[in-house]
Amino acid sequence: DLSVTWLGRAMPGCLYNASGVWCREEDELAALRASAAAALITKSATLAPRDGNPEPRYHPTPLGSINSMGLPNRGFDYYLDFARRYGDGGGKPLFLSLSGLTLDDNCAMLRRLAEAGLPALPEINLSCPNVPGKPQLGYDFGATAEALDAFDAAYPGLYGVKLPPYFDPAHFAAMAEILNRHRRLAFVTCINSIGNGLVVDVDSEAVVIKPKDGLGGLGGDYVLPTALANVREFCRLLPGKDVVGCGGVKSGREAFMHILAGARAVQVGTCLHQEGPGAFARIAAELAALMRAKGYRRLDDFRGRLRTL
Ligand code: DHB
């Protein structure tokens, strides 16, 4: 039994897509809906549609992926229309990822989502590393504090934020102190890609993606230990909030690790990009088999029970 109850609703499993992967177009979202994914999240929306950065802008490697997509998306209205037609999705929650280019844009989208009165939940992206000239909000604690105050004023319901990875205990503590001031901030998703990595191709002696002279966000195997550290630390530091694990999940084993570290639900990014929506049924079956072998019947039997030495 992989079901999860959180945010006041029941979800048939614990796995869904990481924002950005398989969720920019309606046909992709329909394929996720038809898959074994337990929820859906849409591509990070800006107020206006965007083409994104020049190609090539995504490159798979043996250990994961690098991307600098640059927020190509259909614009907020497209995803809001999808959410209207989606309704309650027959029990698969729908999350809308919002990544406005300004705080005003994020607040405008939140107000419009609130007016629509839909069951869809916002995951506000504080961590896109790929828009040239735009720093990641989540690395600016003052700007994050100001943004959360504005989200509280713009949106009356529960919401979540997508965080960048942190690498220092002082940063975990500083961010947690800010997040804990906001009672309707119900979940944090850890982590976004590790920003501004550089993949080098020896044969061509060149970078592999075009934007930012090759710098891009890393996903996949590269990021799993960093993701687990962020999940475990924020679970400890944010009592009463849920942490969604994202980073390096490609089989039931990594999903198990995230839940053991405390994750309520688990997102799949790079692996979904490589394998397609069939990945959800495979990973869910692997997780169920691992749980059976260990004698666990529900996720609650081991969530957050990671042992220390
Ligand atoms: C993009 C990348 C991200 O990591 C993100 O959070 C939002 C957008 C992008 O390049 O499109």
pLDDT tens per residue, range 48-58? 999 999 999 99
pLDDT of residue 138: 97
For ligand 1, pick from 130, 162, 192 the residue to mutate: most ligand atoms within 8 Å of CB.
130
ipTM: 0.97
Alpha-carbon distance of 192 to 67, in angstroms, equals 12
235 phi and psi angles, rounded to 5 deg = -60, -40
Q: Which residue matches tokens 């961590």?
A: 127
Cβ–Cβ contacts within 10 Å for residue 49, how many? 13
Alpha-carbon distance of 130 to 136, in angstroms, equals 9
Tens of pLDDT, residues 197-227: 999 999 999 999 999 999 999 999 999 999 9
pLDDT averaged over the chain?
Answer: 98
Alpha-carbon distance of 66 to 287, in angstroms, equals 26
Q: Residue 82 in contact with residue 4, Cβ under 8 Å?
A: no
How remote is the CA of residue 290 from the centroid of ligand 1, in Å?
A: 32
Say whether pLDDT at 240 is over 90.
yes
Alpha-carbon distance of 209 to 143, in angstroms, equals 30
Grade residue 129 by pLDDT with cuts at 50, 70 and 90: confident
pLDDT of residue 172: 98
Candidates 130, 208, 195, 186; CA nearest to 167 is 195
Say whether pLDDT at 134 is over 90.
no
Alpha-carbon distance of 87 to 40, in angstroms, equals 12
Q: Cα separations (Å) of 71 from 108, 155, 188, 251?
A: 18, 23, 20, 27
Strands 64-67 and 40-41: unpaired
pLDDT of residue 6: 98
Which residues lie closer than 8 Å to 175 by C-beta, 6 or more apart? Answer: 138, 141, 144, 163, 166
Minimum mean pLDDT range among 91-105, 123-137, 234-248, 273-287:
123-137
How remote is the CA of residue 301 from the centroid of ligand 1, in Å?
A: 34
pLDDT of residue 122: 98
How remote is the CA of residue 127 from the centroid of ligand 1, in Å?
A: 8
Q: Whose CA is nearest to atom 5 of ligand 1?
A: 128
Mean pLDDT of 258-268: 99
What is the number of the ligand 1 atom nearest to the C-alpha of 68? 10
235 catalytic residue (yes or no): no
Check 14, 128, 235, 246 and give the catalytic one.
128
| CB burial readout 247-262, b (16+ within 10 A) else e | bbbbebebbbbbbbbb
Q: Whose CA is nearest to atom 11 of ligand 1?
A: 71
pLDDT of residue 90: 92
Ligand 1 pocket residues where CB is under 6 Å: 20, 44, 52, 68-71, 99, 125, 127-130, 192-193, 217
Alpha-carbon distance of 130 to 118, in angstroms, equals 30
Q: Whose CA is nearest to atom 7 of ligand 1?
A: 128
Half-sphere exposure of 158 (CA within 13 A, CB side): 14
pLDDT of residue 133: 87
Alpha-carbon distance of 1 to 154, in angstroms, equals 37
What is the number of the ligand 1 atom nearest to the C-alpha of 71? 11
How remote is the CA of residue 297 from the centroid of ligand 1, in Å?
A: 36
Candidates 28, 108, 24, 121; CA nearest to 74 is 24
Q: Whose CA is nearest to atom 4 of ligand 1?
A: 128
For ligand 1, pick from 71, 189, 215, 267 the residue to mutate: most ligand atoms within 8 Å of CB.
71
